[in-house]
Structure 1
Amino acid sequence: MNALDYQSFADLWEDRATIRTRPRRHVENDERLIYPLSRQPLVLSAIFQQHCPHLRDFALVQSLYKFINDVVIFETEIVDRTARSIAKDRFAIRFPFACRYDAMTVVVDEDYHALVAMDFMQQTIALTGIEPIALPLEIELSRAIPAAIAQVPEHLRDAVELVCVGIAENTLTNDVAAFSRDDSVKQSIKGLMADHLLDEGRHSTFWARLVRMYWQGASEQDRECIAQVLPVFIGQYLTNDIQKAFDFELIAHLDVAEAVRQALRDEVLGMAFPINRQHPLLGNILRFLRSNSMLDSPCVQQALADYLPPRSTS
């Protein structure tokens, strides 16, 4: 794809963007879960089930707060920064006006998603009476993107930022899709995720197009340089250090004996996925790299050899 082939989604945004078309979502006071059990495996552990099953809803509410906090950081500090820079033509990679216009709709969408998430947190606090524990000040991307950028020459920093944000947006889209299909949670939560997904599907396509436009015009030397830092980004992005720290903070707020707390901490330590080709998020990353032609490049294949499915020897 080159700049002349780019088709703006301005009309689609006018007709379907959630900021234009969706009513406010209200949290229901019903018996459904406020957060999926599958997304907080601590509450499914044998230790938790045996010693403090009555604290399940407290743990799930706190996990929802962390999810909302992550969304706000991601939308306002990560995606907004890159999209706004592109929209205002302050990005090192120059894009045509149609791209910059679409980037501004992404800015509007993402800030609106953050606003809706904060509203949902306020509603949940009012409904449950449960105040948030200390929430993380950053997400994995807050570390992963700077770590990757730090290892490339200055003229490639914006390109690396673009690729990293594109990966993250596409991974988020798949994550939100799974969340929106979970029938165990409150309908308002499912609706919130479905609204988010409607916009994120458009965003994921936008970022894939921009990365493809850049990659097709990049020199082989620049491609090789960017390929070399992809494992750095992936390693930082897929770590569970921040989630582990949050789970430890959550455990510290449970009204249980210290021996139970330690047993729960031990459970958390065993929950991390190894960062290899079996990691559940890696498939989303590889699909994105295929969709924008990056994975067609031998330098990317070589850099990510440890993450790619083994080739058949038959």
Structure 2
Amino acid sequence: MNAADYQSFAEAWESRATIRSRPRRLLEDDQRLIYPLSRQPLVLSETFLRECPQQRDFALVQTLYKFINDVVIFETEIVDKTARSIAKNRFAVAFPFACRYDAMTVVVDEDYHALVAMDFMQQTVALTGIEPIQLPDEIELSRAIPAAVALAPEYLRSAVELICVAIAENTVTGDVAAFARDDSVKPSIKGLMADHLLDEGRHSSFWARMVRIYWHTASDTDRETIAQILPVFIGHYLTNDIQKSFDLRLIDALPVSETTRYSLREEIAGLAFPINRHHPLVGNIVRFFHNSSLLDTPCVQHALRDYLV
């Protein structure tokens, strides 16, 4: 894809962006879950179900708080940074005005998503009376992107950052879609996810097109260099160290005996997905590599061979 072929989505944004078209979502005081059980395996563990099932809602609320915290970090510290740099023409990879205008809509959307997420945290504290435990101050991408960028020569660091953010945005879109389909959770939470998905679908396409435009201009040597960095990024991105630390803090916050706490720690120790083609997020990542045209390049195919079916 050439930069000259880029078509802005400005009109679609004006009519469909959630900041333009969605009312405030209000948290319901009903019997539905505030967070899907399937997304917090701790509450489904044998020890938890046997020893402290009455703590389920506390654990789910805390997990929602972490999810909200993750969204705020992702949107304001990672996506916003790269999109704003493109929009203000301060990015090392030059893009035409139409791309930069759309990048600014991404900035607006992502900051709005963070605002909505913070509103939901306030509403949840008010409804449940449950204050958040200590939340992480970073997410996996906070480590994965710098680790990947550090491997690139100076002149390629912006390109690597662009591709990493694009991978993440496309991965998140698939994850949010699964959340939005879960009928066990409160309608407002589902609505929040559906709103987010409406914007993220547009964003994922935007980032894939930015990468296609860049990749079209990249030399064979630069493509080879970037291809070697991609598995390093994926390895860091798919770790669960931060989630594991949070789960351990959550276990410490439960009013249970030390014996129960020990058993819960033992059970969550084996919950990590292997970082290979069977990881549940790898399908989304590989789909992005197809959509962005990177996987048409032999050096990328070779570098990602362990993740391809």
Same fold (TM over 0.5): yes
1:176 match = 176
Deviation digits for residues 16-46 of structure 1, max 9, x if unmatched?
0000110000000000000000000110011
Alignment of structure 1 residues 145-160 onto 2, 5 Å: 145-160=145-160
1:283 match = 283
Matched residue SS, 2:305: coil
Matched residue SS, 1:93: coil
What root-mean-square deviation, in Å, do the aligned CA atoms of Structure 1 and Structure 2 show?
0.4
Structure 1 distance, partners of 2:232, 2:139, is: 16
Q: Confirm or deny that 1:74 pairs with 2:104.
A: no
Matched residue SS, 2:307: coil
Aligned length in residues:
309
Q: Confirm or deny that 1:95 pairs with 2:95.
A: yes
The offset of 1:204, in angstroms, is: 0.3
TM-score if structure 2 supplies the norm length?
A: 1.00
2:269 match = 269
1:254 match = 254
Structure 1 distance, partners of 2:5, 2:268, is: 48
Q: Confirm or deny that 1:50 pairs with 2:46.
A: no
Deviation digits for residues 127-182 of structure 1, max 9, x if unmatched?
00000000000000000000000001000000000000000000000000000000
2:301 match = 301
Alignment of structure 1 residues 109-188 onto 2, 5 Å: 109-188=109-188
TM-score if structure 1 supplies the norm length?
A: 0.98
Structure 2 distance, partners of 1:16, 1:306, is: 39
Structure 2 distance, partners of 1:292, 1:132, is: 39
Deviation digits for residues 269-290 of structure 1, max 9, x if unmatched?
1100010111010010000001
Alignment of structure 1 residues 25-36 onto 2, 5 Å: 25-36=25-36
Q: Could you tell me which runs of 5 or more consecutive residues in structure 1 were left unpaired when the two chains were aligned.
A: 310-314
1:195 match = 195
Q: Confirm or deny that 1:227 pairs with 2:258.
A: no
Structure 2 distance, partners of 1:268, 1:212, is: 40
Q: Could you tell me which runs of 5 or more consecutive residues in structure 2 were left unpaired when the two chains were aligned.
A: none
Structure 1 distance, partners of 2:293, 2:191, is: 33
Matched residue SS, 1:306: helix
Amino acid at match of 2:9: F
Which 4+ stretches in 1 moved above 2 angstroms?
A: none
The offset of 1:69, in angstroms, is: 0.1
Structure 2 distance, partners of 1:268, 1:243, is: 10
